[in-house]
Amino acid sequence: MNINIPDLGIIDDSSGFKELSATTDGRFVSGEGGVEAVATTGDGKVEFVAFGNHTLAFVNSALGYGAYYPLYPVKRDRKIKAVLMDLDGTSVKSEEFWIWIIEKTTASMLNDANFRLEQSDMPFVSGHSVSEHLRYCIDKYCPGADLARARDFYFMHVNHEMKEIMEGRGRKNAFVPQKGIKEFLYGLKEMGIKIGLVTSGLYEKAMPEIISAFRTLGMGEPTDFYDAIISAGYPLRKGSVGTLGELSPKPHPWLYAETAAVGLGVGFAERGSVIAIEDSGAGVCSARIAGYTTVGLAGGNICESGTMPMCSRYCNTLAEILEYIKSGGADGE
């Protein structure tokens, strides 16, 4: 494979992408109607339709509601106004905990306490919405099972485990601050850069994480520190009102776009002054489709999900990313 995807670049076999003959919905076919190539990320979550001078990104949905977005070119401005950061895996090491909750939920669905997820499941049970994670497990392990029932089991386990953690009896090291996060965040503050926290996690699971991390670090209240925090909202359950989040999470661009444009007041025309930091395949796709310079952080599933081409930069530590931000150079310099 050696194809050109406008505004993304030359994609070869080392990229992790896969070439397709057509999009999975059949709307676009390679070699027809001006389409020069069709490719997908390694995990199949995002497909790219390459025309002569522009590209469409198709975000698949396990729930059946996919969407097409224009892929924009990215060019980092020398003056960075805002940094957008993912929560799970990037700011707080918690992915193992939430994957464990998905595993426990699937075990409950199967009535099998010995059930364990496989390593191959990892790209599909992190970085997306709760319902997408559960739909994946239902399709693979308990076909025909009811998603609503799976969600009931999920929130039963979440509520129990979060209560245990808050009372000091829960899973140890469930929420561990990312190494160097305190120095990184204060470094951004010293430069006068706005900071937004962006998560596909629902409010009731996301906020205890970051509150716990800030308490560990002695940094006060995260709502006072961050300039904006956007989560996937509140879950829809019987007897309560939910908010939009299950059909529009990462890798859709909306969480990142809303954090920057609405939460931080940095509009689309200024997107070159925004840097997004992610450790997941879904996250780098979300930020990149939103039009932001995207920096991948090692330790997540970017390589495994076949999404490395979505990163403008890939770094091993937050300290390395801070130096990149301080450098003030354009991408590649």
Tens digits of residue pLDDT in 56-105: 999 998 788 899 999 999 999 989 999 999 999 999 998 889 999 999 99
| Short-list 286, 324, 318, 290, CA closest to 305 | 286
Q: Radius of gyration of the chain from Cα atoms?
A: 20
Query: For residue 177, with 0-12 CB atoms within 10 Å meaning exposed, 13-18 middle and 19 or more buried, which class applies?
Result: buried
Q: Which residues does residue 9 pair with via DSSP β-bridges, in sequence order?
A: 5
Residue whose entry in the numeric block shows the structure tokens 């999920």: 154
AA identity, residue 259: T
List the CATH code of the domain at 82-93+176-327: 3.40.50.1000
**H-only helix segments in 176-313:** 181-190, 203-217, 222-225, 254-258, 281-289
Q: Which two tokens stand for residue 130?
A: 């709760």
pLDDT of the residue at 64: 84
pLDDT digits (tens, 9 = 90+) for 31-45: 999 999 999 999 999
Categorize the per-residue pLDDT at 333 as very low, low, confident or very high, splitting at 50, 70 and 90.
very low
Q: Does 158 have pLDDT greater than 50? A: yes
Element (H, E) at 162: helix 147-166
Q: Are 255 and 198 a contacting pair, CB within 8 Å?
A: yes
Q: Which two tokens stand for residue 133?
A: 């994670």
Judge if pTM exceeds 0.95.
no
pLDDT digits (tens, 9 = 90+) for 172-222: 778 899 999 999 999 999 999 999 999 988 888 888 889 889 989 999 999
Which whole-number Å values give the CA distances from 90 to 44, 94, 180, 278, in the listed order?
23, 9, 11, 6
SS3 38: strand
Non-local (6+) Cβ contacts of 140 within 8 A are: 121
C-alpha angle 153-154-158 in degrees, rounded to nearest 5: 120
